[in-house]
Amino acid sequence: MRTRIIRHEYFRDVRTDGLSIGARLTFVGIWCMADLRGVFRPYAADVAANVYPNDMATTVLEIEGFLTELRKADFIRSFTERGVNWGYIVDWLDWHAIGIQEVISGSSRPTPPGWIEPTNWARWIEKNERRGGQNEWRQLRLLVLRRDNYTCTYCGSQREPLHCDHIIPVARNGITELSNLTTACAACNISKGAKLVSEWRSHG
């Protein structure tokens, strides 16, 4: 189960108007069961154990009815991967904003049909950085340093201060996401500047 934030827009969204109260609660509960791509185990018994663990009044049969209601309204869909049944939340990114920690953690669950890997969280980080909000950038920098074991990936130095370097520089249209960030010692980062790694290496 994951922690989710319910935006106030959820309660005003016309798409939920036709749902019963039980289906609405079940839908929000499924958010906590879902991974970063909105994939979850679509069985009523699993939903009962995770969303209604202490509710003796709500039966598995009723929960199955809520799931059927959500399927008919196209809030959730099913797919099969290697003989295993899975469910996924339709338009998942409309309901939930992807966070840094969630992207870092990843998921071992299969990718749902039609999924396009999100990059909106990286743009959100960049936007906040430009506006002067540094908290997300600091968090991302720390994740990169930890991932690289506090070691410069260019020369192997662990001498501080260590920088978080854009492998493809922002000036060369590089983006702020983990695949384009690496740990660099101050000397390497300053020397590399706005060059591509291949250009920097070729100049010694």
Per-residue pLDDT of 144-198, as tens digits, reads: 888 899 999 999 999 888 889 999 988 788 887 888 899 999 899 888 988 999 9
Give the per-residue pLDDT at 128: 47
**90 is written with which tokens?**
């339709």
Residue 127 lies in a domain: no
Last residue of a domain, one of 87, 105, 123: 105
Residue 112 lies in a domain: no
pLDDT-derived band of residue 91, with 50, 70 and 90 as boundaries? confident
**62 is written with which tokens?**
């009723």
Residue 72 lies in a domain: yes
CA atoms of 76 and 95, how far apart (whole Å): 12
Q: Which of 136, 123, 191 is nearest to 163 (CA)?
A: 191
Tell me: do 94 and 13 sit in the same domain. Answer: yes
CATH number for the domain including 65?
1.10.10.10
Tell me: do 86 and 151 sit in the same domain. Answer: no
Mean of pLDDT values over 7-20? 81
Give the per-residue pLDDT at 67: 96
Tell me: do 85 and 20 sit in the same domain. Answer: yes
CA atoms of 129 and 33, how far apart (whole Å): 31
Q: Which domain holds residue 24?
A: 8-105
Tens-digit pLDDT profile for residues 36-88: 889 999 999 999 999 999 988 889 999 999 999 999 999 999 999 999 999 99
Residue 48 lies in a domain: yes
Contacts 24+ apart (CB under 8 A), 174-180: 175/119, 175/122, 175/126, 176/122, 176/125, 176/126, 176/129, 176/137, 176/140, 177/119, 177/122, 178/103, 178/104, 178/140, 178/143, 178/144, 178/147
Tell me: do 145 and 90 sit in the same domain. Answer: no
Tell me: do 92 and 160 sit in the same domain. Answer: no
Residue 19 lies in a domain: yes
Pair 190, 166: CB distance under 8 Å: no
Tell me: do 12 and 101 sit in the same domain. Answer: yes
Q: What is the pTM of this model?
A: 0.59
Residue 13 lies in a domain: yes
Last residue of a domain, one of 88, 105, 122: 105
**171 is written with which tokens?**
């000036």
Tens-digit pLDDT profile for residues 99-134: 666 666 678 899 999 887 655 455 544 554 444 445
Last residue of a domain, one of 89, 105, 121: 105
Tell me: do 82 and 157 sit in the same domain. Answer: no
Residue 158 lies in a domain: yes
Give the per-residue pLDDT at 125: 47
Residue 144 lies in a domain: yes
Tell me: do 28 and 101 sit in the same domain. Answer: yes
Give the per-residue pLDDT at 107: 83
- Number of domains composing the chain: 2
CA atoms of 144 and 163, how far apart (whole Å): 10
Q: Specify whether the backbone of 86 is left (phi greater than 0), alpha (psi in -120 to 50) or beta.
A: beta
Give the per-residue pLDDT at 132: 42
Pair 38, 92: CB distance under 8 Å: yes
CA angle 41, 45, 47 (to 5 degrees): 55
Tell me: do 28 and 92 sit in the same domain. Answer: yes
Tell me: do 151 and 87 sit in the same domain. Answer: no
CATH number for the domain including 159?
1.10.30.50
Tell me: do 33 and 79 sit in the same domain. Answer: yes
Taking 80 as the threshold, does the pLDDT of residue 139 lie above it? Answer: no
